[in-house]
Amino acid sequence: MESMYRQGSSGAVRPRTYDPPAMEQTEAEELLLIEEADAWFEYGEAIRGQTETRYLEIEPWAWARLQQRLRAIKARRAKLRPAAA
Protein backbone atom coordinates (compact mmCIF):
# COMPACT_ATOMS: atom_id res chain seq x y z
CA MET A 1 0.00 0.00 0.00
CA GLU A 2 2.83 2.38 0.78
CA SER A 3 4.28 2.03 -2.74
CA MET A 4 0.96 3.14 -4.24
CA TYR A 5 1.29 6.56 -2.59
CA ARG A 6 5.04 7.02 -2.99
CA GLN A 7 6.08 10.11 -4.84
CA GLY A 8 7.63 9.46 -8.24
CA SER A 9 10.30 11.51 -9.96
CA SER A 10 7.64 13.90 -11.28
CA GLY A 11 6.41 14.62 -7.75
CA ALA A 12 2.95 13.22 -8.55
CA VAL A 13 1.28 11.08 -5.93
CA ARG A 14 0.37 8.42 -8.46
CA PRO A 15 2.36 9.00 -11.62
CA ARG A 16 0.86 8.06 -15.00
CA THR A 17 -2.65 7.63 -13.60
CA TYR A 18 -4.22 10.74 -15.11
CA ASP A 19 -4.06 11.43 -18.81
CA PRO A 20 -7.50 12.60 -20.01
CA PRO A 21 -7.07 11.87 -23.76
CA ALA A 22 -5.66 8.42 -23.03
CA MET A 23 -8.41 7.76 -20.49
CA GLU A 24 -11.08 8.72 -23.04
CA GLN A 25 -9.45 6.46 -25.62
CA THR A 26 -9.30 3.56 -23.17
CA GLU A 27 -12.91 4.10 -22.12
CA ALA A 28 -14.07 4.14 -25.75
CA GLU A 29 -12.16 0.92 -26.47
CA GLU A 30 -13.65 -0.72 -23.38
CA LEU A 31 -17.15 0.27 -24.48
CA LEU A 32 -16.51 -1.29 -27.88
CA LEU A 33 -15.31 -4.49 -26.20
CA ILE A 34 -18.49 -4.56 -24.11
CA GLU A 35 -20.60 -4.03 -27.22
CA GLU A 36 -18.73 -6.83 -29.01
CA ALA A 37 -19.36 -9.18 -26.10
CA ASP A 38 -23.02 -8.16 -26.11
CA ALA A 39 -23.26 -9.03 -29.81
CA TRP A 40 -21.86 -12.51 -29.14
CA PHE A 41 -24.22 -13.01 -26.19
CA GLU A 42 -27.17 -11.94 -28.33
CA TYR A 43 -26.16 -14.55 -30.91
CA GLY A 44 -25.81 -17.23 -28.25
CA GLU A 45 -29.16 -16.41 -26.67
CA ALA A 46 -30.90 -16.46 -30.05
CA ILE A 47 -29.76 -19.98 -30.93
CA ARG A 48 -29.63 -21.56 -27.47
CA GLY A 49 -32.22 -24.16 -26.62
CA GLN A 50 -33.90 -24.26 -30.02
CA THR A 51 -35.24 -27.36 -31.64
CA GLU A 52 -33.29 -28.50 -34.67
CA THR A 53 -35.89 -27.13 -37.08
CA ARG A 54 -36.13 -23.79 -35.30
CA TYR A 55 -32.32 -23.58 -35.03
CA LEU A 56 -32.02 -24.01 -38.80
CA GLU A 57 -34.50 -21.14 -39.25
CA ILE A 58 -32.94 -18.77 -36.71
CA GLU A 59 -29.21 -19.41 -37.03
CA PRO A 60 -28.66 -17.72 -40.44
CA TRP A 61 -30.49 -14.61 -39.20
CA ALA A 62 -28.59 -14.62 -35.89
CA TRP A 63 -25.25 -15.05 -37.67
CA ALA A 64 -26.03 -12.23 -40.12
CA ARG A 65 -27.04 -9.97 -37.23
CA LEU A 66 -23.82 -10.83 -35.37
CA GLN A 67 -21.71 -10.10 -38.46
CA GLN A 68 -23.51 -6.79 -38.99
CA ARG A 69 -22.84 -5.70 -35.41
CA LEU A 70 -19.20 -6.82 -35.55
CA ARG A 71 -18.64 -4.87 -38.80
CA ALA A 72 -20.09 -1.74 -37.17
CA ILE A 73 -17.85 -2.20 -34.13
CA LYS A 74 -14.82 -2.73 -36.35
CA ALA A 75 -15.60 0.49 -38.24
CA ARG A 76 -15.93 2.48 -35.01
CA ARG A 77 -12.73 0.94 -33.68
CA ALA A 78 -10.92 1.97 -36.89
CA LYS A 79 -12.10 5.57 -36.35
CA LEU A 80 -10.64 5.50 -32.84
CA ARG A 81 -7.20 4.29 -33.90
CA PRO A 82 -6.26 7.31 -36.07
CA ALA A 83 -7.42 9.64 -33.29
CA ALA A 84 -4.95 7.94 -30.93
CA ALA A 85 -2.01 8.43 -33.30
Residue 70 is assigned to a structural domain of this protein: yes
15 domain-assigned: no
The counts of H helices and E strands in the chain are: 2, 0
| Structural domain span for residue 77 | 22-84
Q: State pLDDT tens for residues 37-46.
A: 999 999 999 9
pLDDT higher than 50, residue 57:
yes
* pLDDT tens digits along 12-30: 556 555 555 666 778 999 9
Crossing angle (nearest 10°) for helices 20-47 and 52-84: 170
- Cβ burial, residue 70 (10 Å; 0-12/13-18/19+): middle
The answer as to whether 10 is a domain residue is: no
Q: Is pTM, for the whole model, over 0.75? A: no
pLDDT at 11 over 60: no
Mean pLDDT of 41-58: 97
Number of folded domains in the chain?
1
